[in-house]
Amino acid sequence: MFDSRHIRTFHEVVRTGSYSAAARALGYTQPAITQQMKALERAVGTPLFLRVGRRMRLTEAGEALSRHAAVILDSMAAARQQMAALTRLRAGRVRVCAFPSAGATLVPEALARLAADHPGVRVELQESEPPESLDRVVRGECDIALAFTYPGLREQVPEELVEVPLLEDQLTVLMPAGHPMARRRAVRLAELTDERWIAGCLRCRTNFLHECAELGFAPDIVFTTDDNLMVQSLVAEGLGIAMMPGLVLSFLVHRKVTGRPLEPAARRQVSAYALREHLRIPATALVLEELKAVAANRVGC
C-alpha cells in the first residue's frame, strides 16, 4: 500500500526536478526526502528514478506513477473537502421516514428551520407507518423513522434502534360540527358506544379496539383508512366519527368537522428512532435536534 505522504513528496520531486528543490518546497530536509523516496520504491518494488549525471530521470515505473500521482492527490483533496463539508454541516443527506400526521406537521417545520441555517443538508422524505418504518431503518433504507406507540399495547422496538422521545400526542374524537357532543369541551369514549366509527391504520385501529374492549363494547367500524383527509371527508358528510391523534387538528380542512379531546386523557408517544451509530453523524444528529425543537413548541399535544 502506498503512503499518501510519499505520493505527495514524489509528486513534488517530479515537479521540481530534484530532492533538494522538493525539500525546500515542502519544508523538509533533503535526507528526509531521500528516505521517503526509498520507502516508496520499496513499496513499489522497483526504482522510480535514475541519475544521469547531476540530473534525475524517471524510470518507466516512475513515469507510470507520475501520471497517477496528480489524480491521487486531487482525489484526496476532494475527499478532504467533502469530509469537511459533511462534518461542518455544509453538506449531507438524511433520509427521514414518517407516518402521515407527523409528515404533515413536525417534519415540514423542522425542515424549514434546517433549510434556513444549513441549506447544504439535504433531507429525503419517505412515508410509512410503524412498525414498517422502524424495520426500514434497520434495513438501511432510511436514517430516521418517526413512529408512535400506545401505552396500553405491548409493541416491540428493534434492539438496534435508539429512541428519541419527541412528544405525547393527545387523542381526540373527530365529529361533525353539528354533533350533540361537539358542544362539550371533552368527550368520554364510553358515551359513544352507539356511534358509527371510521378506523385508521393498523396500529391505531388496534389501540382503538383495545380501548373499547376495556370499556366493554365493540365499536361499529363502517370504514377503515389511513388517509387523514379521507377520514375528515367521511366525518364531514356525517358517515361516522373517528378517534384521531391531536396532530391531525393542525391540518383540519373541513369546516364541518371539529375535534374534542378524550376524557380521561389518552395519549400516544411520538418518537424518532435511529441506529446508535447514526447519532454520531452530524447531519443526522442535527435533524433530530430540529425535530426535538419543533416538538417542544407544539401546544395541545
67-126 per-position pLDDT tens digit:
888 788 777 766 666 565 555 555 678 899 999 999 999 999 999 998 888 888 889 999
Residue 300 has pLDDT above 50, yes or no: no
299: left (phi over 0), alpha (psi -120 to 50) or beta: beta
Tell me the C-alpha distance between 209 and 135, whole Å: 25
- The C-alpha cell that represents 128 in the structure block: 410509512
**Which residues in 234-270 are b (16+ Cβ under 10 Å) and which e?**
bbbeeebbbbbbbbbbeebebeebbbbbbeeebbbbb
Rg from Cα positions in the chain: 31
Q: Beta strands 242-245 and 161-176: pairing type?
A: antiparallel
Mean pLDDT confidence for 129-142:
92
pLDDT at 95 (0 to 100): 92
Counting residues of the chain whose pLDDT is more than 90, the rounded percentage is 55
> How many helices and strands in the chain, by DSSP H and E?
10, 11
Q: Using 50, 70 and 90 to split pLDDT, how confident is the model at 182? A: very high
Mean pLDDT confidence for 53-79:
81
pLDDT at 301 (0 to 100): 43
What DSSP letter does each residue of 236-254 carry, written as one string?
HTTS-BEEEEGGGGGG---
Residue 294 has pLDDT above 90, yes or no: yes
pLDDT at 240 (0 to 100): 96
- Of 256 and 300, which is predicted with more confidence? 256
Mean pLDDT confidence for 195-210:
93
pLDDT at 77 (0 to 100): 67
pLDDT at 71 (0 to 100): 82
pLDDT at 119 (0 to 100): 86
Q: Using 50, 70 and 90 to split pLDDT, how confident is the model at 279? A: confident
- The C-alpha cell that represents 114 in the structure block: 434546517
pTM to 2 decimals?
Answer: 0.70
Output the average pLDDT for the chain: 88
Instruction: Provide the 3-class DSSP secondary structure of residue 165.
Output: strand
pLDDT at 297 (0 to 100): 86
H helices of the chain, in order, are: 4-16, 19-26, 30-44, 60-87, 100-103, 106-117, 132-138, 202-214, 228-236, 282-296
pLDDT at 84 (0 to 100): 58
